[in-house]
Structure 1
Amino acid sequence: MGIAFVEGFVAMRQGRRPDKPALIPDPGEWRAFVRGAREGEFDLT
């Protein structure tokens, strides 16, 4: 997955499929994702 910061937004794209559209979460969604990652919400058990 590639992540880029573009004009105040975050754009994410799957590296293996660059022809597909990028996902662009709003700032609140991005903060929630980062917070969840920091808190281990996405850790595999």
Structure 2
Amino acid sequence: MSDPAAFESRLEKRSEFRKQPVGHSRQGDFIKCVEQKGGAQNKLV
């Protein structure tokens, strides 16, 4: 816990998980990841 920024981001993630169902939030993260990868590939092409 030497890094306060990492600790704060963990707390934010925890509060987000409480607001949303775990499956929904995981699905959202997955979609974001796919979109980012797709966007990067489109830029390369």
- Report the TM-score range of the alignment, normalised by the length of the smaller protein: 0.3 to 0.5
Q: 1 or 2, which has the higher helix percentage?
A: 2
What TM-score do the two structures reach when normalised by structure 1? 0.42
Q: Which has the larger radius of gyration?
A: 2
Q: 1 or 2, which has the higher strand percentage?
A: 1
